[in-house]
Structure 1
Amino acid sequence: MLRCHQLRKLYEDHLAVDGVSFQLEPGEIGGLVGPNGAGKTTTMRCLAGLIPATGGQLAVADCNLADHDSASLTELKRRLAYVPDDPPLFDDLTVGQHLEFIGRIYNVPDRRAKASELLEYFQLDDKVNAGATTLSRGMRQKLAICCAYLYDPQVLLLDEPMTGLDPPGIRRLLQSIRDRAAAGATVIISSHLLAMIEDVCTHLIVMQHGRLQYFGDVQSLRNEFPSATSLEQAYFEATARELSACS
């Protein structure tokens, strides 16, 4: 469902992503973790087809993105949803109109019923007639996620999706990610806080300075560092080891 092989992205003289490789199957949830500036968002944007890769091979939802071909990108948009860390909304539309617009674009059957269910789940049903500019940061985030879920994409890319959410909102979001994966979607959720997402992920994609430092299932990272009392500690030990190897 998602293949990333030797991904490279060069911005003028800055190599933001350097030879990153991983793959995820339907039903799997990859946690893309690393410090600020690790290359997480650039990787997500390349996978979403928003920016062309400088090198490597990308296949997402059976769409080959290696050549950044317009036909492949158009088909990818039907199969993938990308929610950035600060999702852009339409200032002139209400909450309900956002979902109506997305539902029509993607020709979603029973779009209004599905929209109502999503708004109720994310506790936005009382904001259906509210304008986008009146929403808090967390509400804007939840609205963007509702729009992404509405057309049941095969691949979900969520970049720092918990920004602005309160604890109940985070709990609902993480449960919704589990549910989407259980229904067959492939999900990547990025964060620089591993402790927030470790319970929902099946795999970890650890990046630092644009490079992949670990890819594998969650338990394997725990097993690799048996003295670590938490997954986060194992992550820090792996990161320290890699830095020592490079110094």
Structure 2
Amino acid sequence: MITINNLTKTYKNFKAVDSISLTAKPGEVTVLLGPNGAGKSTTIKSIAGLLKFEGDITICDFPNKTVEAKKVFGYIPETPALYDFLTPWEHAQFIAKAYKLDDTWEQKIKTIFERLEIYDKKDKYVRELSKGMTQKLSIAIALLIDPRAVLFDEPLVGLDPKAINEVLKIFEELKSEGKSILVSTHIIDTINEVWDRAYIMNKGKIIRDISRDELEGRDLKTIFFELTEGETEECGQ
């Protein structure tokens, strides 16, 4: 579970996030939506432990910046944080050693690489890979540790339709395994079939918390635009 209680982040005199609370429950895909400047990126970076903040954030009941939390947490940033002169296989080796994974990690990453169609690129330098390939690699190494909670920040950007479909299948599988999945995205149409709960942000606040059961025949994109009054947000074609 990923839990945020009264998160506030202020940059000098600007309050980017204003006392928000949300929960990504086990066995659910929770999405975080909002127009540009809503505070999504600040929220994501706070969860990942990249910013100082006020409030409380826990990962599976552990404070988010602790070693215990990081052992059970997978994070896929919007811009992959990879090393240009390491290969995909060397990235996996690095993660396996850092997390003290058992000897089965090699077969596991091979399976993930093959599924995401990057196994044939495993010995190339990351600097030689396309944006889509680096995005797939970022997803693969996050899944290698078998996290109990996973944070995806714009995971579908740069992926081809086949890869998008595969990632959506991964979301469903993580759900079935009881994992907590939090997805920050602006491509609402693409995740329309997999989300369970949505938090809509605007101007630093959560302005709506809605479950799929509460739609009552409406669609999430329509609700989003009504609440944000048509503020700039790309929501798919």
Q: Which amino acid in the other structure matches residue 57 of structure 2?
A: L
Aligned to 2:49: 49
Q: Partner residue of 1:33?
A: 33
Match of 1:83 among 56, 73, 76: 76
**Corresponding residue for residue 68 of structure 1:** none
Unaligned runs of 5+ in 2: 231-237
Question: What SS does the aligned partner of 1:86 have?
Answer: coil
Per the alignment, residue 212 of structure 2 pairs with 218
Which of 109, 120, 123 is the equivalent residue of 2:117? 123
Contact 1:122 1:169 in 2 (8 A): yes
1:103 is displaced (CA, Å) by 1.3
Q: 2:58, 2:69 within 8 Å by CA — same for their partners in 1?
A: no
Q: Deviations over 1:178-213 (max 9, x none)?
A: 111211210111112211212111110111111101
User: 1:151-204 CA deviation, whole Å, 9 max, x = no partner?
Assistant: 011111110011110111111011111111211210111112211212111110
Q: How many residues align structurally?
A: 229
Alignment RMSD (CA, Å): 1.6
- Decide which structure has greater helix share: 1
CA contact (8 A) 1:33 1:193 kept: no
Structure 1 position 231 matched with structure 2 position 231: no
Using the TM superposition, give the Cα deviation of residue 27 of structure 1 relative to its aligned residue in structure 2, in angstroms.
1.0
Do the aligned partners of 1:36 and 1:192 also contact (CA within 8 Å) in 2? no
Residue 139 (structure 2) pairs with residue 140 (structure 1): no
Q: Distance in 2 between matches of 1:25 and 1:188?
A: 9
1:200 aligns with 2:194: yes
**Is residue 49–residue 73 contact of structure 1 (8 Å, CA) maintained in 2?**
no
Residue 2 of structure 1: CA displacement? 2.0
> Deviations along 1:227-247, whole A, 9 cap, x unmatched?
x4x321122123339xxxxxx
TM-score, length of structure 1 as denominator length: 0.88
Tell me which residue corresponds to 1:63: 62
- 1:51 Cα deviation from its structure 2 partner: 1.3
Q: CA deviation at 1:218?
A: 2.1
Aligned to 1:69: none
What are the superposed Cα offsets for residues 120-179 of structure 1, whole Å, 9 maximum, x if unpaired? 010011111111000000000000100000001111111001111011111101111111
* Contact 1:29/1:187 (8 A) holds in 2: yes
| Code of the aligned partner of 2:137 | L
Structure 1 residue 99: Cα displacement: 0.9
Shift of 1:56: 2.2
Normalized against structure 2, the TM-score is what? Answer: 0.91
Query: 1: CA distance between counterparts of 2:2 and 2:138?
Result: 22
Look up the SS of the partner of 1:196 in the other structure. Answer: coil
Deviation at 1:73, TM superposition (A): 2.0
